[in-house]
């Protein structure tokens, strides 16, 4: 990515991280009470401040939504393309019979009566005799309208999800992807995108992903996703930027940890019992 894009991504990451960390300041009593309620016996193994810090960490990691990643993707893509948008809604006029065929395919996938196959699904949809038109709305998590692909400029839809998507989310995303491609005469790209890849092997990919998506044609995960959006080495550059941001937010993290330690020590001096916490 160029220097301007890199700067935009870093500023976004830094602002997001600082806001998240600072939002936990002043809430340490809340985290102490929550830790004591949830893990009253963990102090056998760990000091209370360690347990509370772990609770704060979980509140941050679980609070980082997919919007964080689409925000990064937006800044990277705008460094290369002119038509980039998050949460864009399209209104398509589509052949009703072909839309029904898409729903039939989804039902068969849901019931495990067929395996996902981009080529097979396109062929079946295109073979359907044309009928009347019906209005269909499709909202893309992330959209690039002028993606450069093999010498052409194609529209791209990416559905951002965690690597462990729920089945109902897979059904919705697959439907959006098929409708989007149908609307463009299948001269468009559509993927489910995972911003990080926790799986070592293809065989370990979450079962819902394998049930609904063609792993070779519809899934972008981790490095593949980021390099697709920003070009070769984008993922590696993002890791470096994240490390830089980590160093810059470290003073805020240290201050939060000190606040936890101070509050825990104060609680110890007051010496409240667990019953007092549980009775609140």
Shared domain for 203 and 249, answered yes or no, is no
Q: For residue 26, name the pLDDT band (cuts at 50, 70, 90).
A: confident
Q: For residue 144, name the pLDDT band (cuts at 50, 70, 90).
A: very high
Question: Distance (Å, rounded) from C-alpha 255 to C-alpha 109?
Answer: 50
From 184, 187, 178, select the one nearest 151 (Cα to Cα): 187
- State residue 268's pLDDT score: 73
Q: Write b or e for each residue in 106-117: b if 16 or more Cβ atoms lie within 10 A of its Cβ, otherwise e.
A: beebbeeeeebe
Shared domain for 188 and 210, answered yes or no, is yes
Q: 3: how many CB neighbours lie within 10 A of its CB?
A: 8
CATH code, domain with 191: 3.40.1560
Q: How open is the CA angle 30-33-34, to the nearest 5 degrees?
A: 85
- State residue 278's pLDDT score: 47
- pTM, rounded to two decimals: 0.89
Domain range for residue 170? 81-230
> How much is the mean pLDDT over the chain?
93
Question: Distance (Å, rounded) from C-alpha 222 to C-alpha 230?
Answer: 13
Residue 166 pLDDT > 70: yes
Query: Mean pLDDT, to the nearest integer, of 54-71?
Result: 90
Helices 66-78 and 3-22, axial angle in degrees (round to 10):
160
Residue 270 lies in a domain: yes
More confident residue, 25 or 147: 147
Which class for 97: exposed (0-12), middle (13-18), buried (19 or more C-beta within 10 A)?
middle
Residue 72 lies in a domain: no
Shared domain for 144 and 33, answered yes or no, is no
Number of domains in the chain: 2
Query: Mean pLDDT, to the nearest integer, of 206-230?
Result: 97
Q: For residue 264, name the pLDDT band (cuts at 50, 70, 90).
A: confident
Question: Phi and psi at residue 122, in whole multiples of 5°?
Answer: -60, -45
């Amino acid at each position: 990515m160029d220097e301007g894009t890199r700067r935009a991504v870093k500023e976004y990451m830094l602002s997001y991280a600082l806001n998240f960390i600072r939002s936990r300041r002043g809430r340490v009593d809340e985290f102490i009470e929550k830790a004591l309620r949830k893990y009253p016996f963990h102090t056998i193994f760990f000091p209370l401040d360690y347990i509370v810090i772990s609770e704060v960490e979980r509140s941050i990691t679980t609070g980082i939504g997919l919007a964080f990643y689409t925000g990064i993707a937006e800044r990277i893509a705008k460094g290369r393309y002119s038509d980039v948008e998050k949460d864009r809604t399209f209104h398509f006029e589509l052949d009703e019979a072909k839309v029904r065929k898409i729903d039939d395919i989804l039902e068969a996938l849901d019931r495990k009566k067929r395996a996902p196959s981009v080529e097979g699904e396109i062929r079946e949809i295109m073979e359907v005799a044309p009928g009347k038109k019906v209005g269909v709305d499709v909202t893309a998590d992330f959209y690039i309208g002028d993606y450069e692909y093999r010498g052409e400029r194609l529209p791209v839809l990416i559905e951002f999800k965690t690597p462990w998507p729920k089945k109902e989310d897979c059904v919705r995303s697959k439907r959006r992807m098929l409708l989007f491609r149908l609307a463009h005469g299948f001269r468009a790209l559509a993927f489910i995108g995972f911003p990080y890849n926790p799986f070592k092997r293809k065989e370990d990919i979450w079962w819902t992903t394998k049930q609904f998506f063609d792993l070779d044609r519809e899934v972008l995960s981790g490095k593949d996703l980021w390099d697709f959006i920003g070009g070769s080495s984008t993922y590696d550059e993002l890791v470096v930027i994240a490390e830089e941001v980590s160093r810059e937010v470290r003073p805020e993290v240290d201050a939060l940890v000190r606040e936890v330690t101070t509050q825990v020590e104060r609680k110890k001096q007051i010496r409240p019992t667990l019953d007092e916490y549980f009775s609140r």
